[in-house]
Amino acid sequence: MDTAKHINEKITRLYSNQFLGSQEIVELEKWLAQAQSDPDVERWLAAHWDNAENAEAEISLEGIRIRINQSKQKIKAQQMRRLMVNLQKIAAVLVVPLIVLSVWLMTRQPAGEKMVLMTAKGEHSHVVLPDGSEVWLNVDTKLEYATDFNQNNRLLNLTGEALFKVAKGKRHPFVVEASDFKVTAIGTEFNISAYDGEPVASTYLKEGVVKFDYTPGKGDKRSLIMNPGEQATVAHADGSLHVRTVPGNNSDSWVRGELVFNNEPIDRVFRKVERWYNVKISYSFDDFANETLTVNLKNGESLARLLEIIDQAIGIQVKQNNNEYVITRK
């Protein structure tokens, strides 16, 4: 496939989290629209994906689309910040016109529209929200918020796992809704894991103070104040809530590229592996019903290495068919 060098260069910069201008984004979107109907594009991507700073991330047309949207959001946020700086400079001279302009800008925002940030399986992302808060998204994660975020509230909805570093000194509380609970914070750092289909979800508070509100499906609302070092875990099956202090918690190890299992059931291990490496794991639950795994994979360690460790621990056989791994007991 004869893909222009400038497109290759833009994709490389996109996956290396480097800045792309608005015109470059437009060019990349035009190429992407044409590439959707070209069967040779995916093969070309796989063959040429070796130059980017973070080339270990799996590349795909869908991944490129997601990263383009994230870049557009960053550009929009930068433009808004520049606008606010300029408005502040002339505020003393144009107080009344500034008020009128601010009201006009707010009323132009489409009510109820959502911004969606997503990572695919095998992909991580770091984004800065319009209020300056930072978010690290783990694999296979979706984060939603309204287009007027930070104007009337700072409300987000999370499916998956994310680490939040909340900007301090804001007039609106920072609220994350996930699964059947929500976390409210004002200037803090915490991790939430709430994947669809998982039997448990959890919040770990690294710094600051948060309010944790839990409303199980058939129970009364429960609220508590969490302190640094505490982890709140909810079990969806029975609606239970457990809070414990976890010194040296590694819930944010994934931000450093580490895949950590701490006495976790093998079936949960396999589900994490599917998201982390973007593969399909086939196995019989009965074969591994009573097995657990404790291991810390460093940044960049392969799936093959993890399977080798599991084999040494409990004894397994692995058959690979393209992107599917069939795992049985020896």
Evaluate if pTM is beyond 0.75. Answer: no
Residue 175 confidence (pLDDT) = 95
Q: Which domains does the chain have, with CATH numbers?
A: 1-108 (no CATH), 113-252 (2.60.120.1440), 257-329 (3.55.50.30)
Distance of CA 45 to the CA centre of its chain: 23
Residue 67 has pLDDT above 90, yes or no: no
More reliable by pLDDT, 178 or 74: 178
Q: Is the pLDDT of residue 69 over 80?
A: no
Q: What confidence score (pLDDT) does residue 27 get? A: 80
CA distance linking residue 50 with residue 58, whole number of Å: 11
The pLDDT assigned to 54 comes to: 46
Q: Of the spans 62-71, 86-95, 200-209, which averages the highest pLDDT? A: 200-209
- The pLDDT score that the predictor gives to residue 24 is 77
146/67: higher pLDDT: 146
What mean pLDDT, rounded, does the chain reach?
Answer: 80
pLDDT confidence band for 79 (50 / 70 / 90): low
More confident residue, 238 or 270: 270
Q: Is 108's pLDDT higher than 70?
A: no
Res 177 pLDDT > 70 = yes
Closest CA to 191 of 164, 223, 226, 151: 164
Looking at per-residue confidence, does 161 or 91 come out higher? 161
The sign of the CA dihedral 266, 62, 257, 231 is: negative
Model pLDDT, residue 56:
47
From residue 191, alpha-carbon distances to 24, 167, 216, 274, 294 in Å are: 34, 15, 20, 21, 20
Residue 101: pLDDT band (50, 70, 90) is: very low
Would you say the C-alpha torsion 96, 100, 103, 109 has a positive or negative sign? negative
Task: Tell whether the model's pLDDT for residue 302 goes beyond 80.
Answer: yes
Mean pLDDT, range 307-329, rounded to an integer: 92
CA distance 265 to 246: 19
Kindly indicate the confidence band of residue 107, based on its pLDDT and cuts at 50, 70 and 90.
very low
pLDDT value of residue 145: 92
pLDDT at 104: 39
The pLDDT of 272-293, averaged and rounded, is 92
pLDDT of residue 186: 73
Q: Which range (19-23, 145-149, 219-223, 278-282) has the least confidence?
A: 19-23
Confidence of residue 51 (pLDDT cuts 50, 70, 90): very low
In this prediction, residue 195 has a pLDDT band, given cuts at 50, 70 and 90, of very high
What integer pLDDT is reported at residue 20 of this predicted model? 67
User: Each residue of 111-142: pLDDT tens digit?
Assistant: 557 888 999 898 888 988 888 889 999 999 99
Q: How many other CB atoms sit within 10 Å of the CB of residue 246?
A: 15
> What is the spatial distance between Cα 68 and Cα 35, in angstroms, rounded to a whole number?
14
